[in-house]
Amino acid sequence: MKRRFKVRATLLIAVVLAGLLVYVAAHNEQGEGAQHDVTLQVTGSAPRANISYVTPSGKRIATVSVPWSTSFKVAGGMALSLVAESSGSGAIDCVIREDGNTLLNTSGSGSGSSCSFDATS
């Protein structure tokens, strides 16, 4: 059981880091301080998810119905984070959009599946 958890955790970290690298490369030309419209989304076949995310007003933790989303404005250079774990069975996807463009999309499937990302606007 511990080994399976370590493998899942390692895979999740690798996916998050790969997404972060893609995000940074795609937005390298934009300077810090520029305003961006950000949307965080959780979708999938899971009926509910436990989520934790960061907005300009702070960290939030909630249990939500899937699909779920929230939008807000951020200054360039702000750290963004979303972690979602399904409550029960079903697939779950985490998506971040900035100014209408999909920047990161991670997913998980199975009972208690999770997805997450950390990025900088």
pLDDT higher at 97 or 7: 97
Strands 68-75 and 35-43: antiparallel
pLDDT tens for 15-74 read 433 343 334 444 444 555 689 999 999 999 989 999 998 888 889 999 999 999 999 998
Report, as an integer, the average pLDDT of 95-106.
Answer: 87
Q: What is the mean pLDDT of residues 9-20?
A: 40
Residue 87, CA atoms < 13 Å, CB-side half-sphere = 12
- Report pLDDT for 105: 84
**What does the pLDDT read at residue 89?**
82
Q: Are 80 and 103 in contact (CB under 8 A)?
A: no
